[in-house]
Structure 1
């Protein structure tokens, strides 16, 4: 039985990570990524504006999933309960592909200040998406921003635990996200 072939975007991401790992981010070209993926350079540019964007391929989707989950939370949900719904919605979309590539992605990002800046901007974008979704529910700016930042912290910590469990691990991302958010809620309560 043949191995499942990912779609074009996933093929580009996998190829880019292989090349970035083997020869470095700066020494990898879009043409090389396309060749490794078995696709054309023009197809690459239909999906990504440049090679840096390959590493942020899921950001828009992730931000959309957070916002959709927050928007679909019960009307009487607290801001953090709505964030929990957003985190759960995002967790439901995570696949073994995400889990398999994440450690390599982090290793590549660690090698480049440009990529580290892009990763930080990704977190800002996720927080903005969550905060906007909370504001749409009538949550005040300060509370929405705070809840969103806690959501990003919870996601970052839980995702790290999930990938540390390995590609064949049994850790449940949704449960890890709930636990991470509960720990942050407790920590905030201790601030006084």
Structure 2
């Protein structure tokens, strides 16, 4: 799962540890208070640093949020791509089921990452690079759905529509898990996975 250390490949010196504390504090505040209601002073206080220190690492609150968003999208994209390459998941249905379970486990392990990357409505503040990262996630998902169409398992129609329908259905369970209402192994989660597949299956 995503961890603050994944944002940098440099050794975890004092500056990097400070950066990681900033990232974790921002994740928590952006997903509990909301991006617009979170101030840099609050982020600094939660991270245990001076407010001015933030600007040694990030040019602005918006840049910080975009870096967190992109990291969450990259994690989700890698999950989909790794699943698509898994020789044990040969059908589109098996691959989508594995993706769903991976997202659910991620939501249980690190709710803030999944909430910021997949559930929050941030269109007004994300930049072009973040939009590209989000599109890469959707494209990876669409490739699995397209394979399902080729297998005759997914109904006719635009791949992007069915990928969106599947993800929207799965997002219901993600919201429940992020809120702490459900766990990945709950019966409701299994029902959502089944419903997501039935919504797009031929």
Common fold: TM-score over 0.5: yes
In the alignment, structure 1 residue 181 sits paired with structure 2 residue 196: no
> 5+ residue gaps in structure 1?
1-5
In the alignment, structure 1 residue 12 sits paired with structure 2 residue 26: no
Distance 2:56 2:166 in 1: 34
TM-score after normalising by structure 1: 0.58
Following superposition, the deviation at residue 70 of structure 1 comes to 2.6
Following superposition, the deviation at residue 61 of structure 1 comes to 0.6
1:27-176 maps to which residues of 2 (within 5 A)?
Answer: 28-29=39-40, 33-34=43-44, 36-38=46-48, 40-41=53-54, 44-45=57-58, 50-53=63-66, 56=69, 57-72=71-86, 74=88, 76-77=90-91, 79-98=92-111, 102=115, 114-115=124-125, 124-132=135-143, 145-164=160-179, 166=180, 171-172=183-184, 176=188
4+ runs of 1 displaced by more than 6 Å? Answer: 19-24
Following superposition, the deviation at residue 180 of structure 1 comes to 1.5
Following superposition, the deviation at residue 172 of structure 1 comes to 1.9
Distance 2:27 2:112 in 1: 16
Aligned residues, how many? 172
Tell me the secondary structure at the aligned position of residue 170 of structure 2: helix
Distance 2:89 2:35 in 1: 48
Deviations 1:23-82 (A, max 9, x none): 9627734x7634542354366339x980331552422112211221232153641x2322
> 5+ residue gaps in structure 2?
6-18, 151-156
TM-score after normalising by structure 2: 0.56
Distance 2:182 2:105 in 1: 15
